[in-house]
Amino acid sequence: MNPRIDDLIAMAALGELTDNEAAELDAATSDSEVAAELEAALSAAAALQASAREVPRTTLRASVLGAITGVHQDVAPAAPNVVSIDRARSRRFAPLAAAAAVLLFVAGAVVVASNNDSRSTDSVAAVLDADDASTRPFSGSLGDSLVAAYSPTEAALVISGAAVVAPDVDETYQLWLIDDSGATSVGVFRPDRSGAVSVRFGNTDPSDFSLGVTLEPSGGSLQPTMPILATA
């Protein structure tokens, strides 16, 4: 499929489409393959919105949030070519944005991430509050506030952070598991309007790997683009 259409579907799921981009995607859905892919994305988002979450405890979550809140960040003013993530949302995809389901297509697979509605917050907190959760701080040029938390019982990895500079609209951050044999993509993520990152990656065990974050084209890459901006 045309990478531009994949980007439009990803941005639609994020609630980032302008009116012109929504019209472009509307026109593209005359292709049955595009229409089917968009329908699959919307159906998956609806399923994510309806899924139940446990009420989290507050122990590890409080310590992680306290750690990232207290980190001073010197954030440079946005360059003229940086498009604010606060731009107008597409009315057509407003229900999907409200559901806070971000569906991103990477290397032919669907990676599900989520932002700050109550259900996604609970799913992140379930990892942070798990009795067996462990954390690793990131270091590097992306910012020292990023923290990775992993819970074996949840079989999930959470990346949290504050004051993270948003990439250009046609770029994204990508998380990798790295060992001597190479790098494996975990998924992609973007900070919210305030620069906060709070995203859960399911079915991910980083125990025997280093973690790395790179800047990639929207939709992600098959291999990391150097340099690695943050490692843990």
Neighbouring residues of 219: CB distance < 8 A, sequence distance ≥ 6: 3, 6, 7, 10, 104, 105, 106, 172, 188
Q: What are 13's two structure tokens? A: 């799921």
Type of residue found at 27: A
The per-residue pLDDT of the chain, averaged, comes to 73
What pTM was estimated for this model as a whole?
0.52
Instruction: Say which residue, 99 or 217, is predicted with more confidence.
Output: 217
**Phi, psi of 104, rounded to the nearest 5 degrees:** -120, 130
pLDDT value, residue 91: 33
- Residue 6 sits at the vertex; the CA angle it makes with 4 and 9, to the nearest 5 degrees, is 110
